[in-house]
Amino acid sequence: MASTSSRLLPPQMRLFTQLCSRGQSLPYSPRALSIFHFQNRGSSSRYFTTQPPRRSQSTSAHPMPKFTYHAAASFSGKGKRLDPNSNVFQFNPYNRVQPQIKRPKSKRPASGQDAFFIARMGDTNAVAFGVADGVGGWEESGVDPADFSHSFCDYMALAAYETKPDDARRLTAKALMQKGYDDVCLDKSIPAGGSTACVAIVSEDGVMDVANLGDSGFVHLRLNGVHHSSEAQTHAFNTPYQLSIIPPSMLARAAAFGGAQLCDYPKDADVTAHELRHGDVLVFASDGLWDNLFDQDVLRIASRAMTGSGAWKATDGGIRVVDDLTSYVQAQDSEPKSATLQSAIALEILATAKRASMDQRLDGPFAKEVQKYYPGEDWHGGKVDDICVIVVVVSEDGKPQAIKAKL
């Protein structure tokens, strides 16, 4: 088992000590990554199935509130210094730029073997997003695990983008995962590889459908509390469920020696459905985060940002969400590259996890698991790895609800 890195820690990022008052941009300017173009591949109706239960339809006198989703991603490859100006992606739900497949490696986000996507569902306000963690063990066979994970995310982004409005209401996260996996398997430029996956679709009426396979995962935060957190799927310690492409020669060799190659499928993913509320915060990430921070660590970071900015306010009756989150979650018109609340949270979570991964004094979740399963193993501190984080702030349009949580 490899030891943790002895590299010097990057300078501590103080992202939230300077959180500005409502309506102001935060004190750094992330450079948005370019999104890309690819020819229309079409979609098969077999990928569309019944969505999780929706909220009941409102009468015309009381129209159903609409939800919008403000997302950002932050990422850092293993052994790379975190640059808060470039290791961040701001998602604009109103920017109809078509995703692109077959990017050269130099055009990929600097997230190592981790990959992510965030894409609007056709012409709707629904959004699909997810993370995939390339299985590093494929390097021993001369395969770059990033080829599978990045292409897998690209194909899912394209499928979401090309979804027709009627189909968008029926497409599930597991079906989207299946579509991306099928397309990767058909891609002749990817002969082998594998990854975990955590994929979500959030609908216009405030329902989140999640398919999680492996040890990437998510937490759903609501007003200073962890409302829900996913559980890792593993075959054994440090052996997560994973999608795979296995060459026939490798399968034949394994069969000859009485072994088998590990390969799971989208149908094996854990599927959950969640009702969302105005002001909820969703954090999806690869195991580079969850191996180094506990759910409560992530909650503290997000809560500090939400309350420090004023998006969550303390009142005599408890914590409540401000009625209008626009000035917090949208970049200022005069500063299109200015930071948003969701990008600040994503960067701070990433920076905290990266510092923890290189701290050999404080035992994180991975160290606790090693000590549990291998008590004789002298492992302490964090686990150096690629890290990818997506943060989504949920906003309800129209008349806001009175949402409070007691202190």
Burial 371-403 (b: 16+ CB within 10 A, else e): eeeeeeeebbbbbbbbbbbbbbbbbbeeebeeb
- Give the start-to-end residue ranges of the domains of the chain: 64-405
pLDDT in tens, 258-303: 666 678 999 999 999 999 999 999 999 999 999 999 999 999 999 9
Pair 180, 119: CB distance under 8 Å: no
Q: 173 versus 93: which is more confidently predicted?
A: 173
**What are the backbone angles phi and psi of residue 336, rounded to the nearest 5°?**
-60, -20
Q: What is the pLDDT of residue 261?
A: 65
Model confidence at 39: pLDDT above 50: no
Question: What token pair was written down for 234?
Answer: 């593993």
Q: What is the pLDDT of residue 260?
A: 60
Pair 135, 194: CB distance under 8 Å: yes
Burial 239-258 (b: 16+ CB within 10 A, else e): ebbbbbbbeeeeeeeeeeee
pTM above 0.95, yes or no: no
**CATH no. for 64-405:** 3.60.40.10
pLDDT in tens, 89-140: 999 877 777 787 878 888 899 999 999 999 999 988 899 999 999 999 898 8
Q: What is the pLDDT of residue 15?
A: 37
The Cα-based distances of 159 to 104, 173, 182, 277 in angstroms read 20, 11, 11, 27
Contacts of 343 (CB under 8 A, 6+ apart): 26, 30, 72, 74, 88, 90, 391
Distance CA 184, CA 182 (A): 5
Model confidence at 351: pLDDT above 50: yes
Averaged pLDDT for residues 228-233: 96
Identity of the residue numbered 324: D
Q: What is the pLDDT of residue 303?
A: 97
Q: 53 versus 382: which is more confidently predicted?
A: 382
Model confidence at 166: pLDDT above 70: yes
Model confidence at 46: pLDDT above 50: no
Pair 72, 343: CB distance under 8 Å: yes
How many CA atoms, within 13 angstroms, populate the side-chain half-sphere of residue 300? 7
